[in-house]
Amino acid sequence: MTEAPDLTSLLVAMGQGDAEAFDRLVPLVYPDLRRLARAQLRRLRVGETLDTTALVHEAYVKLVDAERAGWNDRQHFLAVASVAMRQILVDHARRRLRAKRGAGAVPVPLDEVPGVVAREAHDLLELDDALGRLEAVDPRLVRVVECRYFTGLSEQETADALGVSLRTVQRDWLKARAWLRAALNPAR
């Protein structure tokens, strides 16, 4: 990912309150946002009701609200976008489970309930809950997971986005994965 020459200036302009800078920034990072969304949806398989375009557009709405966040560079912007996408996916999973449990829907025979989609939504909520617990222990580990797992950034891109060394990201990634594995599979 090579950075467009005017991306940094757009990020600075946004931080200074230029309302039009965000609209000029989005076309520059839209392909990256679609790549992130596609990777998350493929990995998480959250069902047919949320597609790549919908996820990118919902993230856009969240990012517009946070446009004075003071992003430093493309990696930082994408890291924030990945957090927004994670929140959208978790909210989507909660809505799916709520709908599965009734939420005013017409009863459906048990043999017609899409169990696989419900299980995947439940898994995503468990992951989000575990990340919340991990954040109480070490917030940087959660940022590393968001950058690596949800955004798909390389180790070096994650280090750049978080302002830490490559070796720190490598250690944190190992620690976070081990912690999450233990939290999500306590019987093992």
pLDDT-derived band at 148 (thresholds 50, 70, 90) equals confident
Tell me the backbone φ, ψ of residue 94, rounded to 5 degrees.
-60, -45
CA separation for the pair 177, 188 (Å, rounded): 14
59-63 long-range CB contacts below 8 Å, 24 or more apart? 59/33, 59/84, 59/85, 59/88, 60/26, 60/33, 62/87, 62/88, 63/22
pLDDT, residue 178, reads: 94
pLDDT-derived band at 110 (thresholds 50, 70, 90) equals very low
Averaged pLDDT for residues 112-135 = 75
pLDDT, residue 45, reads: 59
Residue 106 has pLDDT above 80, yes or no: no
pLDDT-derived band at 171 (thresholds 50, 70, 90) equals very high
Contact 81, 153 (CB under 8 A): no
Q: Where are the domains of the chain?
A: 7-184
pLDDT, residue 127, reads: 87
Contact 14, 68 (CB under 8 A): yes
Contact 158, 76 (CB under 8 A): no
CA nearest neighbour of 19 among 65, 58, 60, 72: 65
Contact 75, 160 (CB under 8 A): yes
pLDDT tens digits, one per residue of 29-64: 888 888 888 877 776 655 556 778 888 888 888 877
pLDDT tens digits, one per residue of 68-87: 556 777 777 777 887 888 88
Contact 1, 32 (CB under 8 A): yes
